[in-house]
Amino acid sequence: MKEAVLYRKLEDKKVKCTACMQGCTIQPDYTGICGVRQNVDGKLYLLVYGKASAVNIDPIEKKPLFHFLPGSQIFSIGTVGCNFGCDFCQNWDLSQCTKDLKEKLLKENKIKDMGVKVCDYGYELLPERIIEICRQKGIPSVAYTYNEPTIFLEYAYDTAKLANKEGMKNVFVSNGFETEEALKKIKPYLDGINIDLKSFSDEFYRKTCKARLQPVLDTIKLAHKLGIWVEVTTLVIPTMNDSDEELKSIAKFIKSVDPNIPWHVTAFHPDYKMTDKQSTKHSSLEKAHRIGMETGLNYVYVGNVIDDVHSSTYCPNCKALLVKRSGHYISIESFKDGKCTKCGEKIPGVWK
């Protein structure tokens, strides 16, 4: 447990968390929506500081990040808890367990025990140890992922600062609900971010994710403005967000920020509270890819399925194959030092 940085003290020992756009006002002994930021006697504490619940060494393409050190490994870390409540969450066992725990402790009138119980879900992995492992294994980047990194921002911040000092990169895989204060705090050490744009409907966000659309749009624009490398992912869910109109709206928004932002359209599979939906058809992903390209985006990628053609990177100028992808297998073709070797076109991204 460590005192949080992003909060304000209020009267009657209440606090207001300022890490994410949920903006929880938290009374003593209680946590916010995420379940990992608890008010203890008028101070806000991060319950999962140094407590990892998911750790892996992944190909960076799995995040997904396609314009960021392609073919490299990334140390991926997550905790428990989330500020969203997506019915289709594919990491629900990590992200939603704190909500179930909170409900149980409230019924037992033991909400004070939240801090102790949450720690049971992870094991100690302090920032210094993360960097030591990466240095020993020659891993160039750290990803804060699996659950929403904003809710464990103080843990991520301390790790990212050490990683940056060692010349390593840092990336968030995020739902985009950071406050401006949170994003600007992590910005000096954050090199890339993949933000889920789950829908272009506020009703979808409110009903299905227990959140709102506009803050996500604002975060995408702010991250880009701050100079953080941005990629956007949309999980294409049959009958929920896969209409031509909605896909066009998402593509138009991304283009309005920057047509060079890569858009990942990925396949849904039934999970958590949304087992009544069918898996996404390949044809739906191909449609989304076509809509994105026709709208004027330079880089649209199909994901969560094997599709060599629509997951590879092509030069927007001469159409040469730059990076060939088959699953997580990467082959660098006509590409070097961030440029197309056929025509010299500069390809936006983080390449060193």
Residue 62 DSSP code = G
Give pLDDT, residue 237: 97
Per-domain residue ranges for the chain? 2-46, 51-340
Question: How far from 217 is each of 69, 225, 288, 326, CA to CA, in Å?
Answer: 26, 12, 19, 31
Using DSSP's 3-state secondary structure scheme, residue 286 falls into: helix
Handedness of CA 217, 349, 316, 72 (dihedral sign): negative
Rg (CA), the chain: 20
Task: Give φ, ψ of 7 to 5 degrees.
Answer: -165, 165
Q: How many Å apart are CA 65 and CA 286, to the nearest integer?
A: 19
**pLDDT given for residue 333 in this prediction:** 94
Average pLDDT, 10 consecutive residues per value, the chain (352 residues): 95 97 96 95 96 96 96 97 95 91 88 85 94 97 97 98 98 98 98 98 97 98 98 97 97 98 97 93 97 98 94 97 92 95 97 94
Q: What is the pLDDT of residues 123-158, one digit of tens each?
A: 999 999 999 999 999 999 999 999 999 999 999 999
For residues 156 and 172, what is the distance between their CA atoms, to the nearest angstrom?
9
178-220 residue pLDDT tens = 999 999 999 999 999 999 999 999 999 999 999 999 999 999 9
The chain-wide mean pLDDT, for the chain, equals: 96
What pLDDT is recorded for position 121? 85
DSSP notation for 13-39: G-EEE-SBTT--EE-TT-B-TTSSEEE
Write down the pLDDT at residue 102: 87
Token pair of 253 as six digits: 């928004």
- One of 3.20.20.140, 3.90.180.10, 3.20.20.70, 3.40.50.300 is the CATH number of 51-340, namely 3.20.20.70
Give pLDDT, residue 112.
86
Residues facing residue 171 across a β-bridge: 143, 192
Neighbours of 154 (CB within 10 A): 20
End-to-end alpha carbon distance in the chain? 36
Positive/negative CA dihedral, 178, 89, 328, 312: negative
- From the list 146, 156, 167, 159, the residue with the least C-alpha distance to 69 is 167
Q: Tell me, what's the pLDDT at 208?
A: 96
Strands 313-314 and 321-326: what pairing?
A: antiparallel
230-251 residue pLDDT tens: 999 999 999 999 999 999 999 9
Model pTM?
0.96
Q: What is the C-alpha to C-alpha distance for residues 288 and 291, in angstroms, rounded to an integer?
A: 5
Report strand pairing: 37-40 vs 25-26.
unpaired
pLDDT at 29: 94
Positive or negative, the CA dihedral 115, 116, 119, 124 is positive
How confident is the model at residue 235, as a pLDDT? 98
